[in-house]
């Protein structure tokens, strides 16, 4: 009986990894789920989500994007694919965050410096409608250079943000 349990364990172990794409020796960047996450992050830091770009609504599983009155100003971002298989892809995204942008009652934007590194793991899943990002649902992260061109950014905020970019 013990031999039967060992055989069952071997079969289960060999089957559970059958669909995994190993991160060793393979470039995961060509995986469609990984590419979706990379496109999402690239568009987000370019400021496309700020302008209600419809591509983003089709890239995620949630129905509505929440309204955000606060988001992050980033200097740089680094993406590292973690894993990918036939139904799920995970990518670690490290942001170099310079601070927070807040929308005021007068529709101006204010920058508050708080330089930090943020690491977030994005997950994309294969749905009946193709690959979609399942997590995390979060506020925008926009590259500082893009924010400096935003007319609503108050002058003193623009000066503080520009100084941090040097």
Q: How many CB atoms lie within 10 A of CB 36?
A: 20
For the chain, the distance separating the N- and C-terminal CA atoms, rounded to the nearest angstrom, is 69
51, part of any domain = yes
HSE-CB for 61 with a 13 A CA cutoff: 14
Helices marked H in the chain = 2-16, 32-45, 54-59, 144-148, 155-165
pLDDT digits (tens, 9 = 90+) for 73-120: 999 999 999 999 999 999 999 999 999 999 998 989 999 999 999 999
Give the per-residue pLDDT at 52.
82
Q: For residue 126, what pLDDT band results from cuts at 50, 70 and 90?
A: very high
- Please indicate, yes or no, if residue 70 is contained in any of the structural domains: yes
Confirm whether 100 is domain-assigned.
Answer: yes
Question: Residue 72, Cα to own-chain centre: how many angstroms?
Answer: 13
Kindly state whether residue 109 falls inside one of the protein's structural domains.
Answer: yes
Q: How many CB atoms are closer than 10 A to CB 33?
A: 29
Confidence of residue 25 (pLDDT cuts 50, 70, 90): very low
Tell whether the model's pLDDT for residue 2 goes beyond 90.
no
Does 162 score more than 50 pLDDT?
yes
Does residue 133 form part of some domain? yes
Give the pTM: 0.81
Q: Rounded mean pLDDT of the chain?
A: 86
16 occurs within a structural domain: no
Burial zone of 5 (CB within 10 Å; 0-12 exposed, 13-18 middle, 19+ buried):
exposed
Count of domains forming the chain: 1
115: in domain: yes
Range of the domain at 121: 28-165
* Residue 154 pLDDT class (50, 70, 90 cuts): very high
> Residue 7: inside a domain, yes or no?
no
């Amino acid at each position: 009986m013990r031999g039967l349990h060992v055989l069952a364990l071997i079969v289960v172990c060999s089957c559970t990894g059958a669909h995994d794409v190993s991160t060793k020796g393979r470039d995961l960047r060509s995986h469609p789920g990984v590419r979706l996450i990379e496109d999402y992050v690239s568009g987000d830091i370019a400021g496309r989500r700020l302008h209600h770009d419809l591509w983003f609504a089709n890239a995620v599983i949630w129905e509505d994007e929440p309204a955000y009155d606060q988001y992050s100003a980033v200097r740089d971002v680094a993406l590292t694919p973690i894993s990918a298989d036939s139904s799920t892809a995970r990518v670690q995204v490290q942001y170099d965050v310079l601070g927070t942008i807040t929308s005021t009652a007068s529709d101006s934007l204010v920058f508050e410096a708080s330089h930090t590194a943020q690491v977030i793991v994005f997950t994309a899943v294969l749905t009946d409608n193709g690959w979609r990002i399942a997590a995390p649902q979060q506020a925008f992260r926009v590259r500082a250079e893009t924010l400096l061109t935003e007319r609503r950014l108050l002058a003193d905020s623009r000066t503080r943000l520009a100084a941090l970019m040097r």
